[in-house]
């Protein structure tokens, strides 16, 4: 006899997200995602907001990784403007995006491990994430919603001693890698909860439009930082991490490997950041956007967030406000995968499988 059970939207492991599950014994035989509990109509509201005041709204898509949201919007505006950005601003944008990526992956690690009943790595990850939030706050002046990138550059420069603090923090977390490996990623208990659980093959990942670590955890090494470089990524030496297994553990290993690659990027960016302006000096781009607006035109831009590729279609009919803005977010695309990987899965595996996708409900709904 089957039983229909609501998982969420008030479940402590689901966030603001509901899934209607059909359970037979201890197995989930059907799962239907029901999104919309955090829908705020942001894309429609953007049509009535000037381009720069719109930035804080866009960052509310995902407060655990808001820098790429800001980045994608600014890339679209700059493309319509034809704006040139100083090299130093490119490096500063890259530094913030990688700090944000590490903080996001640590947050996901905390959620994943507490979902399988491990409280020590939960506290480790939350504590280590705090160091990167402090770096972001020192760079931008804000703890979470940075609003740091503006058309033509960034809002303010880094302090003289911030580079040293970034290096020190990276050194600290690199020394923690063996502990994380021993206690989490190489732990027989963690492997038993993730290996061959929530399997998504390479073909299924491509067919269903998976993004980010979910896609790379199924053996597809696609990353917009490499495929279509922006900011200073073209000058960075790093690898795209992927694993072929396609299970929950592989997805967690991808995120762990990406943190290690982010350490490499941060080291290079801090060492190689050039001197110069942090904003276009030939014409104050942000001032032009505020006063004259953006020329008529259409564009589509992409960048890579912690959860995967963000796409933005931006259309301007001239003036200070967009005619249309439509985002494609990774959490929305990865939500399509839930019915597939929850099919015939044990009920006990549901929280860990869900968090291996790292879906963020507010990013899905917008």
Say if CB 125 and CB 113 are below 8 A apart.
Answer: yes
Residue 234, H or E segment: none
Cα Rg of the chain (Å, integer): 21
Q: Which CATH number fits domain 42-337: 1.10.3720.10, 1.10.10.60, 1.10.645.10, 3.10.20.600?
A: 1.10.645.10
**Is residue 8 left, alpha or beta, with left meaning phi > 0 and alpha meaning psi from -120 to 50?**
left
- Tens digits of residue pLDDT in 92-139: 999 999 999 999 999 999 988 888 888 888 899 999 999 999 999 999
The pLDDT value recorded for residue 9 is: 75
Residue 118, H or E segment: none
CA 330 from chain center: how many Å? 8
Region 198-220: what's the mean pLDDT? 90
Task: Please name the residue that has the structure tokens 């967690």.
Answer: 252
Pick from 78, 101, 103, 104: nearest CA to 89: 78
The percent of residues in the chain predicted with pLDDT above 70, rounded, is 95
Task: Say if residue 282's pLDDT is above 80.
Answer: no
Task: Please name the residue that has the structure tokens 């491509």.
Answer: 206
| pLDDT band, very low/low/confident/very high, at 15 (cuts 50, 70, 90) | low
What values do phi and psi take at 260, rounded to 5?
Answer: -60, -40
| pLDDT band, very low/low/confident/very high, at 254 (cuts 50, 70, 90) | very high
The percent of residues in the chain predicted with pLDDT above 90, rounded, is 39
Task: Say if residue 170's pLDDT is above 50.
Answer: yes
Pick from 345, 343, 134, 308: nearest CA to 223: 308
Region 1-23: what's the mean pLDDT? 77
Average model confidence (pLDDT) across the chain? 87
The pLDDT value recorded for residue 292 is: 67
Say if residue 346 is preceded by a cis peptide, omega within 30 of 0: no
Task: Say if residue 266's pLDDT is above 70.
Answer: yes
Region 182-210: what's the mean pLDDT? 87
- Tens digits of residue pLDDT in 31-87: 888 887 778 888 888 888 888 888 888 888 888 888 899 999 999 998 988 888 899
Domain ranges of the chain: 42-337
Task: Please name the residue that has the structure tokens 């507490």.
Answer: 114
Task: Say if residue 291's pLDDT is above 80.
Answer: no
- Tens digits of residue pLDDT in 60-74: 888 888 889 999 999
The pLDDT value recorded for residue 132 is: 93
Task: Please name the residue that has the structure tokens 């407060």.
Answer: 63
Task: Say if residue 293's pLDDT is above 90.
Answer: no
């Amino acid at each position: 006899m089957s039983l229909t059970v609501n998982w969420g939207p008030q479940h402590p492991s689901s966030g603001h997200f509901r899934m209607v599950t059909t359970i037979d014994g201890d197995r989930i035989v059907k799962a239907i995602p029901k999104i919309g509990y955090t829908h705020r109509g942001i894309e429609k509201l953007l049509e009535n907001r000037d381009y720069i005041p719109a930035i804080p709204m866009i960052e509310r898509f995902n407060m655990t990784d808001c820098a790429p949201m800001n980045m994608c919007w600014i890339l679209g505006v700059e493309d319509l403007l034809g704006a040139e950005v100083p090299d130093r601003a490119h490096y500063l944008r890259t530094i913030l995006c990688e700090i944000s990526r590490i903080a996001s992956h640590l947050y996901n690690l905390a959620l994943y491990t507490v979902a399988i009943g491990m409280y020590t790595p939960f506290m480790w990850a939350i504590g280590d994430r705090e160091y990167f939030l402090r770096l972001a706050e020192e760079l931008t002046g804000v703890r979470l919603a940075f609003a740091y990138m503006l058309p033509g550059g960034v809002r303010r420069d880094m302090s003289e001693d911030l580079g040293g603090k970034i290096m020190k923090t990276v050194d600290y977390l690199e020394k923690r890698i063996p502990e994380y490996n021993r206690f989490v990623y190489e732990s027989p208990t963690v492997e038993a909860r993730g290996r061959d659980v929530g399997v998504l093959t390479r073909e299924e990942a491509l067919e269903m439009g998976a993004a980010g670590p979910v896609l790379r955890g199924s053996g597809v090494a696609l990353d917009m930082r490499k495929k279509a470089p922006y900011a200073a990524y073209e000058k960075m030496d790093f690898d795209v991490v992927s694993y072929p297994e396609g299970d929950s553990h592989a997805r967690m290993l991808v995120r762990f490997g990406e943190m290690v690659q982010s350490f490499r990027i941060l080291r290079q960016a801090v060492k190689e950041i050039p001197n110069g302006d942090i904003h276009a000096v030939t014409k104050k781009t942000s001032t032009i956007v505020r006063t004259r607006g953006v020329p008529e035109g259409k564009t589509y831009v992409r960048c890579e967030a912690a959860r995967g590729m963000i796409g933005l279609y931006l259309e301007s009919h001239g003036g200070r406000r967009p005619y249309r803005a439509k985002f494609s977010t990774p959490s929305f695309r990865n939500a399509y995968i839930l019915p597939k990987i929850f099919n015939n899965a044990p009920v006990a595996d549901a929280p860990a499988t869900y968090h291996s996708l790292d879906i963020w409900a507010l990013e899905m709904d917008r």
